[in-house]
Structure 1
Amino acid sequence: MSIQVEIWWDIMCPFCYIGKTRFEAALKQFPKRESVTVIYRSYELDPRAERDIDQDVHDMLAAKYGMSREQAKSMNDNVAQMAKEVGLAFDFDGMVLTNTFDAHRMIHWASTQGKQAEMADRLFQAYFTEAKHVGEPAQLAALAGEIGLDAEAAAAMLAGSDFADAVRADEHAAQQLGVRGVPFFLLNRKLAVTGAQSVDVFLDALQQSSGEA
């Protein structure tokens, strides 16, 4: 049987990038991977965030959780090490905090061009590794161009309100499902996997959804 995997995520969520990487590793081991369709669903960790934020990620976490900057940096160093273990390079010192709504609109637009997964990968790498401003429309359009999409068409889309409703619909669906954090993986609208789980957990979920377990 076919398996639909919906992933609620945010570009600025480190565990989403790690979880996505582990899920993809599980998918490579799954014998029926050709029957799996992956859909990225929008979720904003901070929908009230400004596009331009005069604060780095260490100070943001320190303020959010009531800890010192040194404690926040230590926490981020631990996450960076976790990312390194799955082949990802995180540069927390260079990350540019921003609002991700337009980036989510870009993902939906890329989906209509058959490039949703490629756009998600490019955004993750741009934010976590390359210190790019993924809330800036010109930067988003340039990133779209880098994966073979029409950068001018991307800029025109971002200049309007296209796909705003699609982003809101995903977020509403998350509320209806009781999603409280991301990443959140939902297989065939029946089996949920929350967080950046191990490859084995994802593989087991795929096997259960295919009726093998």
Structure 2
Amino acid sequence: MTAQPVPLRIDIVSDVVCPWCAIGYHQLARAIEETGVETEIHWHPFELNPGMAPEGENLREHLAAKYGTTPEDSRKARARLTAMGVDLGFTFDYADDMRMYNTFRAHQLIDWAEDQGKAHQAKMALFAAFFTHRRDVSDIGVLAEVAAEIGLDPNAARAMLESGERAEQVRAREQFWTSRGIRGVPAMIFDRQHLVTGAQGEENYARILRQLSEGQAA
């Protein structure tokens, strides 16, 4: 009797307001589909802006202040991301009044959803909530709605977020990865030992998947 192949574990450290995290994941998903390698994805929290005020900031103003991004650079970057998203089947719907938000509560929702086997669905829903629908992913009401959209109890989600019962656990998970040198996202760890940072493209991910799956088979 032939032994079943062990799924290749992929840990992904990312933030729900990181456009390259959305791009990188969808490139990886294409590579997984192309190669047929069986994988097991685990999502981990990272905050791009842990000190972000509750009301958030205008996205263009935020990028200008944090990175020195000019309005023209911002326009070109958004156009590039939008085009890449189209190719990958993901919609970026940028607008000049779009805001950047604190994501600590969003990560708490994902952590809570993980206990119910829906961390991946929560992550995908939050990517879409922010980038496609420009929703405030720091708002408890919005997060409760996202929970409902993926089949979870919105009232239980709201109670969890209001209580802050997941805060300490999520903070510890964030610190676990930063203590291991993760400073930028997406950061993907293949088979618990091969770190790949940034959105590397479908071809590169496919090559990595094939190499690691062949190594496992050997």
Same-fold call, TM cutoff 0.5: yes
Match of 1:148 among 148, 151, 156: 151
Displacement of 1:178 after TM fit? 1.2
Structure 1 residue 192, shift from structure 2 partner? 1.3
CA distance in 2 between partners of 1:16 and 1:122 (Å): 14
Aligned match for 2:64, one of 62, 65, 70? 62
Gaps of at least 5 residues in structure 2 are 1-5
Q: What does the per-residue CA deviation read over 1:106-158, in whole Å, with 9 as the maximum and x for residues that have no partner? A: 00100111111111111000100111111100110011001110000000100
**Aligned residues of 1:42 and 1:104 also touching (Cα < 8 A):** yes
Identity %: 35
Match of 1:49, SS? coil
Q: CA RMSD in A?
A: 1.7
Cα 1:67/1:148, change in 2 over 3 Å? closer
Matched with 1:167 is: 170
Match for residue 90 of structure 2?
A: 88
Query: 28, 51, 57: which is aligned to 1:23?
Result: 28
Tell me the matched-pair count.
Answer: 210
My pick for the range that moved more, 162-171 or 95-104, is 162-171
Q: What do the CA deviations read for 1:13-61 (whole angstroms, capped 9, x no partner)?
A: 000001011111111123331xx211000000010001212x4211211
In 1, Cα distance between equivalents of 2:69 and 2:17: 20
Mapping of residues 65-76 of structure 1, within 5 Å? 65-76=67-78
Of stretches 56-65 and 124-133 in structure 1, the one that deviates more from structure 2 is 56-65
Structure 1: unaligned runs, 5 residues or longer? none
- 1:82-119 Cα deviation digits (max 9, x unpaired): 22221222122153321100000000100111111111
Q: Deviations over 1:176-197 (max 9, x none)?
A: 3211210000012211111111
Q: What is the TM-score normalised by the length of structure 2?
A: 0.90
Deviations 1:57-86 (A, max 9, x none): 112112222243233222222222222221
**Structure 1 stretches of 4+ moved >4 Å:** none
